[in-house]
Amino acid sequence: MSKLFTFVAGLSIGSILSIALCKNIYYDQVVEINPEKSALNSAKSILKYGFPGPISDLIYREAYVTSYNRQTRNPNWAAEIINAENAHPDRSKSHFKEDKSIPVKYRAKLSDYLKSGFDRGHLVPAADIKQSQKALDETFYLTNMSPQVIAFNRGYWAYFEAFCRSLVGKFDDVHVITGPLFLPKLRDGKKFVEYQVIGDSDIAVPTHFFKIILGVEKEKYYLGSFVLPNESIDSNEPLTLFQVPLDSVERASGLEFFQDVAKKLDLCAKVECKVKEFQFKE
């Protein structure tokens, strides 16, 4: 069964996998569907001692924005614009670190990854960040990380990230949104969502990762949406094998991407969607 088929097979239960995003923690700031005054008054009474959530920590960094999921200890997504700035920041001065803006009981910890067999996988890659040393350092917060299979992180995923960087210069702007997915597998005619957790914090290990790329050229918008399994992938596999309809990723994740862009053209019809193998350097 192909990796792409495995992904598509799980889309019918995408609603179960949806991640609720809530910028604010107060019930009167949540988007209501057909609210009635009597219902709102009732809600204020029911929730007068506090709104339970879900709470999504929206984190603004110098070079990216991310939304953190307290339940999975993964980002919901991380968004960036890849550009050609080059202030020559030094990666050797950057270190992985816990994000103290997250309450301790929901925080991913460095010890969770120790001897886990998984890499701390950047969603916004350090190699994308050229603006400043501070901006580079901020990519090493664990709120920008998900557990990734080592061969995946240092192999095909790294090649894919390099492909995204290669788009700089071909477009006026390159917008990228990356995130984890927890997709079902078919077993005995039934669908199951199964994933490993690591560390004392039970950080969820995603089954897949998505990356949505929007290349802007003058007033034209070229979009490519991709889903890759969190596993070793042969470098000879064509990147287009992992290209999927945007709607599929939205239904599987519960998110919306670049919804303010009315007409989106096919990125892979504009540029060759192909990865190149290279030697990974930490």
Known binding residues for Mg(2+) are: 153
| DSSP annotation string for the chain | --HHHHHHHTGGGHHHH-----S-SSGGGSPPSS--HHHHHHHHHHTTT------EEEEE-SSEEEEEETTTTEEEEEEEEE--------GGG---B--TTS-GGG---HHHHTTSSEEEEESS-GGG--S-HHHHHHTTBGGGEEEEEHHHHTTHHHHHHHHHHHTBTTBSEEEEEEEEE---EEETTEEE----EETTTTEE--SEEEEEEEEEETTEEEEEEEEEESS---TTS-GGGGB--HHHHHHHHT---STT-S--EEHHHHS-----------
Catalytic annotation, pick one of 95, 122, 175, 208: 122
Residue 122: active-site member = yes
Residues annotated within a binding site: 153
Q: Cite the active site residues.
A: 122
